[in-house]
Chains A and B, each alone.
Chain A
Amino acid sequence: DQQVKQNSPSLSVQEGRISILNCDYTNSMFDYFLWYKKYPAEGPTFLISISSIKDKNEDGRFTVFLNKSAKHLSLHIVPSQPGDSAVYFCAASDRNSAGKSTFGDGTTLTVKP
């Protein structure tokens, strides 16, 4: 049973518009959520995170929203830029599990100029 799901394998948006990437989870023990960005032939890099005690965290063009009752989080990128084209992974962890993170399958974002 996949505990972290990203149901959209791909997303294409126009430069300057908003990109919204979604993630659902099933394990109610998860209390820390992260988004990682991955370019081809590179390792994932940390983008933004949110603790379960918050419902929103913002960092520049990137905002993550958490809806605990729905077990859903989303990443908003505004405005989207061509350099944002990458694979985005949602990850979740339980602070009592040695920091192990469970990853979704990723969403490939393409931002068209």
Chain B
Amino acid sequence: NAGVTQTPKFRVLKTGQSMTLLCAQDMNHEYMYWYRQDPGMGLRLIHYSVGEGTTAKGEVPDGYNVSRLKKQNFLLGLESAAPSQTSVYFCASRQGHSPLHFGNGTRLTVT
């Protein structure tokens, strides 16, 4: 049982490049979330989805887009990366009001 899987684990981008972070969960969870964590700070919600085909903005959505075409996948896109987007990105899923299940993160550096 893999739980929540994030790919890639690490990535270095140049300013202005684009990329997509993939999150996959095998627990049939309805809700999925993308958080970012910066040094010394907690997790801040970027975007979330309450079901297949739906997405909504979180606390810090600017510069990111998401898609949930399949229930098990939640994609986070950066169209034009900026140094301020250097962070560790965590995907999470849950069913109902159960606790969040997190992936192991993607460490992104934008130079």
Residues of A within 8 A of B (CB): 4, 6, 9, 32, 34, 36, 41-46, 49, 89, 91, 93, 95, 98-106
Is there an interface contact between A41 and B102, defined as CB atoms closer than 8 Å?
no
CB distance from B106 to the nearest CB of A (A): 10
A contact residues around B33 at 8 Å (CB): 100
A95 and B58 alpha carbons, distance in the complex (Å): 16
Is there an interface contact between A98 and B100, defined as CB atoms closer than 8 Å?
no
Is there an interface contact between B102 and A32, defined as CB atoms closer than 8 Å?
no
B contact residues around A41 at 8 Å (CB): 104-105
Is there an interface contact between A9 and B102, defined as CB atoms closer than 8 Å?
no
Identity of the chain A residue whose Cβ is nearest the Cβ of B56 in the assembled complex: A98
B contact residues around A99 at 8 Å (CB): 31, 50, 94, 96-97
Is there an interface contact between A9 and B48, defined as CB atoms closer than 8 Å?
no
Please name the 7 residue pairs, one residue from A and one from B, whose CB atoms are nearest each other, closest first. A43-B102, A103-B42, A46-B99, A103-B43, A105-B42, A43-B104, A44-B102
| Interface: B74 (CB within 8 A) | no
A9 and B101 alpha carbons, distance in the complex (Å): 24
Is there an interface contact between B48 and A43, defined as CB atoms closer than 8 Å?
no
Is there an interface contact between A89 and B99, defined as CB atoms closer than 8 Å?
no
Of B96, B100, B103, which contacts A101 at CB under 8 A? B100
Is there an interface contact between A98 and B42, defined as CB atoms closer than 8 Å?
no
B contact residues around A105 at 8 Å (CB): 40-42
B contact residues around A6 at 8 Å (CB): 42
Is there an interface contact between B42 and A32, defined as CB atoms closer than 8 Å?
no
Known: A42-B104, A43-B90, A100-B33. A49 touches B41 (CB 8 A): no
Is there an interface contact between B105 and A43, defined as CB atoms closer than 8 Å?
yes
A contact residues around B92 at 8 Å (CB): 43
